[in-house]
């Protein structure tokens, strides 16, 4: 009997260290019900990073963190469910100068994260995303370990461009890149940004229809229906 309890304790501690919340502790639906009941008490500027519905219970388990402790012989669980401020991350897009050269602003960091009102921002490199948890495609939950900067106080070339949409400021560090091959950047499932120095044709196949040839050149965004591939 004692060995059985010890085995259960080791098993549950091991699962908790891997971030696995066993249904014997609390079911996903029970956890979601508790979150739904507490939603009205949240501050107005934060929210949960997933829809509050039983269909999204698996998302809550995906992003929560577990902490265990023992008190008076009782094994207790602390479930940390993150609350988030929603920010957008932006990918800079070069501007064509001529047939093969593209102008871009040197941001020094790969990503600019900014709130929807474009009042607060911070910048990170691409490796910072590795510390985040992915909820859905291009939706991440990240620990706030970067200082938020006010766009009203701190001068930032990229933020100013987003706010005013004017020409590039002389204070921005500009670079020119010459491309010989096409560059594609994945956005959503069937949505991509392309940079093509000359022109390029691609074939798009949708279900049982004959392939459709599409000619692309310079910079653009290609969006295909979910039943198509190219």
pLDDT in tens, 107-166: 666 778 888 777 888 888 878 888 888 887 777 888 878 888 888 887 777 777 776 655
The pLDDT score that the predictor gives to residue 188 is 65
The pLDDT score that the predictor gives to residue 185 is 78
Q: Which of 67, 73, 82 is nearest to 25 (CA)?
A: 67
Cα 100–chain centre separation: 31
- Between 71 and 14, the higher pLDDT residue: 71
Pull the structure tokens for residue 203. 């074939």
Position 170 pLDDT exceeds 80:
no
DSSP conformational letter for 169: P
Query: Where is 27: in which H helix or E strand?
Result: none
Q: How far is it, in rounded angstroms, from Cα 134 to Cα 65?
A: 14
Backbone angles phi, psi at 39, to 5 degrees: -60, -35
Please count the other Cβ atoms lying within 10 Å of the Cβ belonging to residue 181.
8
Q: How far is it, in rounded angstroms, from Cα 188 to Cα 136?
A: 10
The answer to whether 120 touches 114, Cβ cutoff 8 Å, is yes
């Amino acid at each position: 009997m004692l060995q059985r309890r010890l085995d259960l304790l080791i098993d549950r501690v091991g699962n908790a260290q891997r971030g696995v919340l066993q249904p014997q502790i609390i079911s996903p639906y029970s956890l979601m019900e508790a979150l739904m009941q507490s939603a009205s008490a949240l501050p107005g500027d934060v929210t949960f990073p997933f829809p509050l519905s039983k269909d999204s219970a698996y998302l809550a388990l995906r992003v929560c963190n577990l902490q265990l402790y023992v008190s008076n012989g009782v094994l207790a669980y602390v479930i940390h469910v993150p609350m988030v401020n929603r920010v957008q991350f932006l990918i800079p897009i070069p501007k064509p100068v001529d047939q093969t050269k593209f102008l871009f602003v040197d941001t020094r960091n790969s990503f600019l994260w900014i709130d929807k009102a474009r009042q607060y921002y911070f910048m990170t490199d691409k490796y910072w995303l590795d510390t985040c948890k992915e909820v859905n495609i291009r939706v991440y939950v990240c620990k706030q370990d970067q200082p938020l900067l006010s766009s009203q106080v701190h001068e930032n070339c990229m933020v100013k461009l987003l706010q005013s949409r004017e020409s590039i400021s002389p204070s921005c560090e500009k670079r020119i890149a010459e491309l010989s091959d096409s560059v594609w950047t994945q956005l959503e499932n069937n949505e991509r940004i392309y940079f093509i120095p000359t022109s390029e044709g691609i074939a798009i196949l949708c279900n049982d229809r004959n392939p459709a040839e599409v000619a692309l050149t310079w910079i653009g965004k290609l969006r295909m229906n979910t039943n198509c591939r190219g």
